[in-house]
Structure 1
Amino acid sequence: MPPSPTAALRALWFGPHTIPLSQTFLLTPLTYGLVNLKPIRPGHVLLATRLPHPRFSDLSPDEVADLFLQAQRVSRAITRHFGAQSLTLCIQDGKEAGQTVPHVHLHVIPRNEGDFPDNDDVYEKLEHTHRIDNEERTPRTPQDMAGEAEMLRKEIGEWNTDTDC
């Protein structure tokens, strides 16, 4: 029996960054989910396109559809596991919008009443503390990120769609 299409896959690209599979929790032919190096809330994860498109308008209709279908799927798991009352779903499309990695990605951020003094503070926090080069927040360890990814893989279920991943 031949190896699965993901057998040779060791890592994914997130802009210029290499993401080990141990830090991913969802994989489809067009989208993958990764845990966040510097989450602004517990359970803050990212969904990225498999191809490294820098802007949302560069996505094909199929990529847009899959990104948002997977966002629904991940949203249910994040809400359940982290006890979120609500979610903030956010795409920063371009540098001027706060995008720090030039690769289309959607933030899924669990929310609860009173988690920020002003509800819209989440966007300021996202812009100022999510930056990979920001020194205000200590990055999580690879082991912590792998543990969260494993938990989310179990929560979400099927790892891939057995198509050309």
Structure 2
Amino acid sequence: NLYGNIFAAIGSVNETDTGSEESFAFGPTAVVKASQVFYRTAHTIAFVNHRPILAGHVLVSSIRAAKRLQELNEEEIRDLFCTVQKVQKAVESEFGANASTIAIQDGVDAGQSIEHIHAHVIPRKPTDFGGNIDQIYSELQKHDKSEHISKTKLRTDEEMLLESTKLKTYF
């Protein structure tokens, strides 16, 4: 089971109350805990990754459960990409990066592992993967796929809370 015991989402998280015990439904089976969320708008939520490829790898998702980008309306698309831009600035600053990989795997055939539209925002440094910076694409291809899950460690709730708390200070 990719995400262990999953419980139904309860309520939602908002910008002014991200410390609550509410959670966010991410795809048909996964739940993002409130402690993972560091930013929220009317249509979009940003949260730390339970299994980051590199330090600072976070996710930005529509709040509405849309599987594909084409299912979002114009307002939701605008909000998603404006949030990606704000989050990119924050994670680059927090993790000392001067570039980012921003990726959307839009559909199963594009490598999407969670059926909920989301963007990966990954701050980048020239030393990533021993200088082989394009390795990010093969890492994204493997990310959260069942055959590779056992090779990467899940972060603890405490680790994710610490990161989300730091990132909240940018908003």
Same fold flag (TM > 0.5): yes
The SS at the match of 2:141 is helix
Please give the residue correspondences for 1:91-106 in structure 2 after superposition, counting only pairs within 5 Å. Answer: 91-106=104-119
Partner of 1:144: 159
What's the counterpart of residue 42 of structure 2? 29
> Which secondary structure state, in structure 2, belongs to the residue aligned with residue 99 of structure 1?
coil
Gaps of 5+ in 2: 1-12
TM-score, normalised relative to structure 1: 0.86
Aligned length: 151
- 3-state SS of paired residue (1:88): strand
Q: Secondary structure at the match of 1:38?
A: coil
Which residue does the alignment assign to 1:124? Answer: 138
Change (3 A) 1:71 1:94: same
Task: Provide the TM-score with structure 2 as the length reference.
Answer: 0.83
- Letter aligned with residue 121 of structure 1: Q
Q: Take 1:35 and 1:21, find their aligned partners in 2: how far apart are those partners?
A: 10
1:62 counterpart residue number? 75
SS at match of 1:29: coil
Identity between Structure 1 and Structure 2 (%):
35
Q: Which of 69, 76, 87 lines up with 1:74 in the alignment?
A: 87
Counterparts of 1:84 and 1:121 in 2: how far apart (Å)?
A: 17
- Which structure's relative contact order is higher, taking Cα pairs within 8 Å and 6+ residues apart? 1
Residue 14 in 1 paired to residue 29 in 2? no
Distance 1:24 1:40 in 2: 18
Structure 1 unaligned residues grouped into runs of 5+: 158-165
